[in-house]
Each structure stands twice: as structure tokens, then as C-alpha cells.
Amino acid sequence: MEPETRKGNPLLRVLEAIADIAIVGILWALCSLPVITLGAATVGAYRAGGVLSEPKHSLSREFFRAFRENFRQATAMELLLLAGGGILWLDLRILKALKVSGVSVVLIVLAAVWYLIALVVFPLMSRYDNTLSHHLRNAAAMVLLNLPRCALLLAFSALPVLLFALNPQMFLNFALPIVLAFWPGCYFLGSGHLMKKMFLRFERTPAAGEGKDDLS
């Protein structure tokens, strides 16, 4: 079928969008299996998700190009985030064992900020060339300056967990196959849309072009 016919056929457009979402999710899942490649796969998924509306681009080509170009830096970022999360978890366990009051709440807030930074930093890496320190600083600034939108992002990222908590049996029997097949791609597209205004606001600041290096 000619491209013009596909463009004018709403059903085919919907089917192609569903297929593209599944492709992005499958590529991300397969390339995340070694775990150490999770960061690079996430950067690739955001890059591929950004070109879904441009049929002249190949999703797999964009994914693997971003995966390859950002592998070193994304892996280093993943390790830094894992180390930070491990330190927060150990601190929380120690304070709980010591029965220190009040400090646990602070650590939980810090853990939420850490999680949001982890959600924001990889889309930042898919969009900008920067050093690790600048990416982390910019991600933290974007989270703190966009708390309402980040709260939506946090809830959106936890949607499968919330659905499971509401009805575990129905989730496992009916929703799980759909979630496995389509949720990753839907998440990258949906979260990218949620962060679009954050990016546009960020691009109007001088920080967007600072600290460029050759690691991305």
C-alpha cells in the first residue's frame, strides 16, 4: 500500500502506532536484560519514542544509534544512581534499627527525589550532550522547579503497581500480558509528553548548552 493511502487511513494509522509502541517496548526490554545496559536502553527508547510521529525515521535505527552513542555515559549514570539508591536504602535501614524519629521521613523524601531524578535524567541524556555532573544537576533542577508535573510523572511511572495493588488477581490474569507487551512503549511516549514543557522551559535557559563533552 502506498504511503499516501496509509496516511489517509485512520485504522492503519492506529495499527501502526500500536505496532511502533510495541517495538519500542520490545527493544528496550531485550536490551535491558543484562541490567548493566538498562541506562543505555532507556536513552535509546526515549530517542526512538521521539520519532514515532516521523515515518521517515526507522525506530530500530534511532534506538540502536542512541544506544551505541550513549552507552558509556548512560552506563556510568546508571551506576551512579544505583550507588545513590543503595546509600539511601542503607541509611534508612540503619536509622530504623536505631529507632531515630523524624529522620526516616527526610530519607523517604530524598528517595522520592532520587527516583524522580532517575526518571528525568535519561530523557535529558537522549536530548542533550552534556557531562554527567551537568546532567545530574539539570535533572535535579528540573525536578525541583516542576514538582506538580513531576508528581504526575511519579504516579504515571507507578501505574502498573497501583493497578496490581487495586486488584492483584485481575491484574495477573488479564492485565499482565497487555502491560508486558505495551506498557514500556506507552510509558516512554507518555512520560516524554509530560516532560515536553519541562524541556521547553529548560531550553530557554543557558544551562542547556553547558558542559558538553564527547561521552554521549
pLDDT, tens only, 54-79:
655 678 888 999 999 999 999 999 99
Q: Count Cβ atoms below 10 Å from residue 178 Cβ, excluding itself.
A: 10
Burial-class residue 41 by CB neighbours within 10 Å (0-12, 13-18, 19+): buried
Cβ within 8 Å of residue 130, ≥6 positions away = 124, 138, 210, 211, 212, 213, 216
Compute the distance between CA of residue 127 and CA of residue 188 in angstroms, rounded to an integer.
14
What is the average per-residue pLDDT within 153-165? 89
Q: Rg of the chain's alpha carbons, rounded to an integer?
A: 19
pLDDT of residue 209: 47
Instruction: Find the farthest-apart pair of alpha carbons in the chain and give their distance in angstroms, rounded.
Output: 69
Q: What is the dihedral of CA 42, 144, 155, 26, to 10 degrees?
A: -10
Instruction: Find out whether 135 and 121 touch, Cβ atoms under 8 Å.
Output: yes
DSSP 122-136: HHHHHH----HHHHH
The confidence band for 118, taking pLDDT boundaries of 50, 70 and 90, is very high
Which residue in this structure is represented by grid cell 501502526?
Answer: 16
Is 3 strand, coil or helix? helix
Predicted structure pTM score: 0.83
The confidence band for 44, taking pLDDT boundaries of 50, 70 and 90, is very high
Question: What percentage of the chain carries pLDDT values higher than 70?
Answer: 85
Is 201 strand, coil or helix? helix
C-alpha cell at 174: 488479564
Residue type, 210: E
Mean pLDDT is lowest, of 98-107, 154-163, 188-197, for 98-107
C-alpha cell at 120: 528525568
Q: What is the dihedral of CA 83, 42, 139, 69, to 10 degrees?
A: 100
Compute the distance between CA of residue 171 and CA of residue 179 in angstroms, rounded to an integer.
9
Q: Report whether pLDDT(105) > 60.
A: yes
Q: Distance from CA of residue 40 to its chain's centroid?
A: 11
